[in-house]
Amino acid sequence: MRLSRHLALLLLLCAAGPTLAQQYPARPIRLLIPMAAGGATDILIRSLTPKMTELLGQQIVVDNRPGANGVIGDEMGVNAPPDGYTLLANSIAIAINPGLYKLNYSIVRDLAPVTQLASIDLLMGVNPQVPAKTVAELIALAKAQPGKLNYASFGVGSIAHLAAEIFKQASNTQIVHVAYKGTPQAVQDTIAGQTQFMFGGIPYMLPHARAGRLHGIAVSSLQRSPLAPEIPTLDESGLPGFDVTAWFGMWVPARTPRPVVARLNEVMVKTLHDLRPAIEKQGYRPGGGAPEEFGKFVRAEVDKFARVIKTAGIKLEN
C-alpha cells in the first residue's frame, strides 16, 4: 500500500512537470552574488540579468552578499527554499573553498547546478628584468635558484595563488608566494620587480603585456586566448594538461524541481548565446551546456583544488 502511494506521488510529480515549467516564474527572482559589487562576478551577472528578465518575464533582483571568500552568500543559497526563486551565481571560489574552510554544507550535495556562465583565461605575466622569455626558461631559472624567485597573488587561496601552485607542482620548482590584498597591487609590484611573476585574468593583464610592462609568456587554459592568439598555452609550453581558468556558474538549492532547473538552464543558454559578442568583448569565454555537464565539471574542480591545497600545505591567514 505504501509503495503504491509513493508510486502515485511520483507519477503525479512527473505529470505536473510541464505545467510547473510553464507557470514558472510567477514572481520576481532573487539572484545571490556572494561577492562585492564591481567585481568580475558582479559585472558578468549584471550584464546578463536584463536578458534573463526579458526571457523569464519576471524581474531579477541582484543581491550582493560578500564575505569569507563567498562562503556567506553560498550558505544563504544552500539554505534558501528550493522553489526556483533564489538563484546563486559565484566564481571558481565556490570550488576552492571546500579545501580551505570547514564548511557545514557541500556544494556538490546541497546545490543543484544550472550551467557554467563563462570563464576567463589567466595570463602568466613575468617582470621584464627576469631573464626568462618562455616558460621553459622560467622553469630552468627557478630550478637553478631554488627559493629565490617570488610570485604574486591577490590573496591566499585565490585562483592566482592556486594557479601558481599548480605550476610549481607541475614543474617541480621551489618559488615563494607573496600574497597581496588585491589584483592592482600584485600587478604593480610585479611590474616594479618586487615579485618576478604572477597569474592574472587576461583582460586585466594583457594591456600591461602589450605596453611592455610585463612579458606575457603563456595562458593557463588548453586553448589559446582569442584576445592574444600569439601567446602559447602552458600545455604547449612543456606542461601537458595544464588547464586552469577563472570560471563562473549558476546554481539553485538542491531539491529544486527538475522542470524549474531545466527552464533556468534553457534561459541561461539562450542568454549566453544571444549576448556572446558583448561577453567576449569583456574578455569572458561564454559558457552554457547542460546542468549534468556543469555538475561533473564542478566535482572535478573541487577535487583538483583540494589536492593542490593539501599538497602545498595552504592555510588561511588568521
Give the per-residue pLDDT at 193.
97
Give the per-residue pLDDT at 39.
87
pLDDT at 3 over 50: no
Give the per-residue pLDDT at 9.
45
Name the average pLDDT for the chain.
93
How many domains does one find in the chain? Answer: 2
Give the per-residue pLDDT at 206.
96
Give the per-residue pLDDT at 7.
53
116 lies in the same domain as 134: no
CATH for 267: 3.40.190.150
131 lies in the same domain as 103: no
Give the per-residue pLDDT at 316.
85
Give the per-residue pLDDT at 77.
98
Query: Which domain does 11 fall in, by range?
Result: 2-17+28-120+245-312
For the segment 298-315, what is each residue's pLDDT rounded down to a tens digit? 999 999 999 999 999 999
For the segment 54-107, what is each residue's pLDDT rounded down to a tens digit? 999 999 999 999 998 899 999 999 999 999 999 999 999 999 999 999 999 999
Q: What percent of the chain has pLDDT over 90?
A: 87
For the segment 4-13, what is each residue's pLDDT rounded down to a tens digit? 554 554 455 5
110 lies in the same domain as 139: no
277 or 39, greater pLDDT: 277
Give the residue from 170, 201, 219 where a domain finishes. Answer: 219
How sure is the predictor about 15, in pLDDT bands with cuts at 50, 70 and 90?
low
pTM for the whole thing?
0.89
pLDDT at 160 over 90: yes
CATH for 175: 3.40.190.10
Q: What percent of the chain has pLDDT over 70?
A: 92
Q: What is the 3-state secondary structure (H, E, C) of the chain?
A: CHHHHHHHHHHHHHHHHHHHHHHCCCCCEEEEECCCCCCHHHHHHHHHHHHHHHHHCCCEEEEECCCHHHHHHHHHHHHCCCCCCEEEEEECHHHHHHHHCCCCCCHHHHEEEEEEEEEEEEEEEECCCCCCCCHHHHHHHHHHCCCCCEEEECCCCCHHHHHHHHHHHHHCCCCEEEECCCHHHHHHHHHHCCCCEEEEEHHHHHHHHHCCCCEEEEECCCCCCCCCCCCCECCCCCCCCCCCEEEEEEEEECCCCHHHHHHHHHHHHHHHHHCHHHHHHCCCEECCCCHHHHHHHHHHHHHHHHHHHHHHCCCCCC
